Amino acid sequence: MATTRLDPIDRKILAELQADGRMTNVELAKRVGISAPPCLRRVRTLEEAGFIRGYHADVDPRELGFEVQVFANVGLQSQAEADLSAFEARCRDWPLVRECHMLNGEVDFILKCVAPDLSTFQRFLTEELTAAANVASVKTALVIRDAKDQPGVPFEVLEERLARDA
């Protein structure tokens, strides 16, 4: 398990940065109970090890005029690895596709898409997604509202599990 390489301070650093990636190193060090220089070294080590993939602002799509959010369930004709990889690469090229996840079961992929309006999404759906090579079926679900949108992992669950396994 990857978390065995992390001590409680590393996990606390990750939890704090996940909650607020903009805090200063001094504030982070204070929250995790160590001085600033070793805190910065730990953060850099966590970044280099791949535990921290990056930092970004949580932008509200609707505030920027992206009123439409849709989940598209995509079935492919072929599930050969080359075909799966080709579809994933195509998804990375489509700006409206914000997330692409390969699934196990009846659906091969689920895509999270955003668009400024329904006609823009419909044009993408008919001219690009359903017309793409190897796409056999697409079923869409329009998001009415978001009840929860929380990125990252639940550190409290991780800590409970580690305490139980100790």
pLDDT for 103-116, tens place per residue? 999 999 999 999 99
Q: Quick one: which of 72, 68, 91 has its CA closest to 140?
A: 72
pLDDT for 7-24, tens place per residue? 999 999 999 999 999 999
Look up the pTM and report it.
Answer: 0.86
Is 113 exposed, middle or buried (CB count within 10 Å of its CB: 0-12, 13-18, 19+)?
buried
Give alpha helix (H) positions in the chain: 8-19, 25-32, 36-48, 81-93, 118-124, 155-165
Q: Quick one: which of 134, 13, 115, 26 has its CA closest to 66?
A: 115
Amino acid at 38: P
Give alpha helix (H) positions in 23-154: 25-32, 36-48, 81-93, 118-124
pLDDT for 150-162, tens place per residue? 889 999 998 998 8
SS3 53: coil
pLDDT for 75-112, tens place per residue? 999 999 999 999 999 999 999 999 999 999 999 999 99
| Residues paired with residue 109 on neighbouring β-strands, in sequence order | 74, 102
Mean of all residue pLDDT scores within the chain: 95
Determine the pLDDT at residue 156: 92
Amino acid at 74: V
Are residues 147 and 74 in contact, defined by beta-carbon separation less than 8 angstroms? no
| Residue 124 pLDDT greater than 50, yes or no | yes
